[in-house]
Amino acid sequence: MQAINVSIGFDRRLWAQDLAGSKAHAAMLVAQGILSAADGALIQGGLDTIRAEIEAGTFPFRDRYEDIHMNVEARLAELIGDPSGRLHTARSRNDQVALDFRLWVRSACDHAMAQLKDLQHALLERAEAEAGTLMPGFTHLQPAQPVTFGHHLMAYVEMFGRDAGRFADARARMNECPLGAAALAGSPFPIDRHATAAALGFDRPTANSLDSVSDRDFALEALSAASITATHLSRLAEELVIWVTPQFGFVGLSDAFTTGSSIMPQKRNPDAAELIRAKTGRIFGALTSLTMVMKGLPLAYSKDMQEDKVPVFEAFDSLDLALAAMAGMVRDLTPDRARMAAAAASGFSTATDLADWLVRTLDMPFRRAHHVTGAAVKRAEQLGVDLPALPLSELQAIEAGITADVYQVLTPERSVASRISYGGTAPAEVRRQVSLWKERLSDDKA
């Protein structure tokens, strides 16, 4: 029973939140005349001593006290005696753990948002430097149209911006204080729940005592945001893995973010990126795990909910590492601009530009222009050349109205420069989007 019941091995991570909640609760009890000032002072002093012991690594965490709450309570009794027992007035472990866990998840969301902001800054710095660097844009991992490396990186700035927004939304919804709900029905003591909520940085107290002790939506929503963030990290990690292969050779990573082989001395493996992909599975698993724990529980508290913490802790540990590693790799990578430019010019990547030219210049319906362009690509393949090298006579044999002016749109440089629509890949538009994002991130509300 002790083996299955004890949780101090993992919930000791809630010690700071547990102490903060206890200090706020004790202060409120004194203010409401429920606890004497003398006892309140002893309790506050004892809690400060416990904090110092934990920070110094001398606190006696003991399995026989089951969880962090009972460990703190037992140590407080050893330090100050009987007055320690008055701290639990108008409080239950049910609302205590709900508070501690909510405080921890709120802090984890804040940390994730700060890390996302740092990653966005890293991407912005790189995107600004590479706003004019050509690379192939892909669909189905097949060359599609030329884009710029800066534009490609800015796509991830957008993704991670949405991720930060999801964490912010989750934080706003979870910022209600369950302390004072007691076991499930509230308290008969004249407590001031608004005071404890304000002291702990919450917007308001929770409005229903049953929901207060049984709600874990805040953790599920945070895990959902973490899972989507992990998806985006994994997509970028996958691209880095592809880009550093000799077959692509678009970017290089230093020894700081790669490892060698035990048998093949020439290898430089992108292990950090690969591990980010793998940690995504841990984060997805955490969301599934907690969803399964909660799906069949009646109100209010059940011991099943003790299983809420481990998946959340593991998920945010993994996310913390993944975000830090990705920001490091973005700052570390070295693009091979010549290699990317050569790839951008291959694979008939300016075929759409030819079709657009036919529409603009010859007033050709796009579907016919598409057909003409397809014929031009087929002829270029037969001759073993790319579109910019296809002779004018060959183009005119397909469509007599084509003139030498067409070659002005068939280079990758001209192609990307022409994509001036809002959010397009034109270097000037990329730099404009970089500036807009820098402004957003410089605002504390971003």
Going by their DSSP bridges, the two strands 334-335 and 251-252 should be labelled as antiparallel
Cα–Cα nearest to 337, from 217, 216, 426, 250: 250
Residue 278: CB atoms within 10 A of its CB come to: 12
Residue 304: CB atoms within 10 A of its CB come to: 12
Q: Which residue out of 84, 88, 121, 140 is catalytically annotated?
A: 140
Cα–Cα distance, 252 to 269 (Å, whole number):
11
| 66-to-82, 118, 212, 218, 443 alpha-carbon distances in Å | 21, 39, 22, 24, 44
DSSP letters for 70-134: HHHHHHHHHHH-GGGGGGGTT--HHHHHHHHHHHHHHHHHHHHHHHHHHHHHHHHHHHHHTTT-E
User: Can you tell me whether residue 355 is helix, strand or coil?
Assistant: helix
- Whether 261 sits among the annotated catalytic residues: the reply is yes
Q: 300: cis peptide before it, omega within 30°? A: yes
Residue 156: CB atoms within 10 A of its CB come to: 20
Cα–Cα distance, 318 to 310 (Å, whole number):
12
- Whether 435 sits among the annotated catalytic residues: the reply is no
Q: Which residue out of 36, 254, 261, 346 is catalytically annotated?
A: 261
Cα–Cα nearest to 366, from 354, 382, 380, 376: 354
> Which residues are the active-site residues?
140, 261
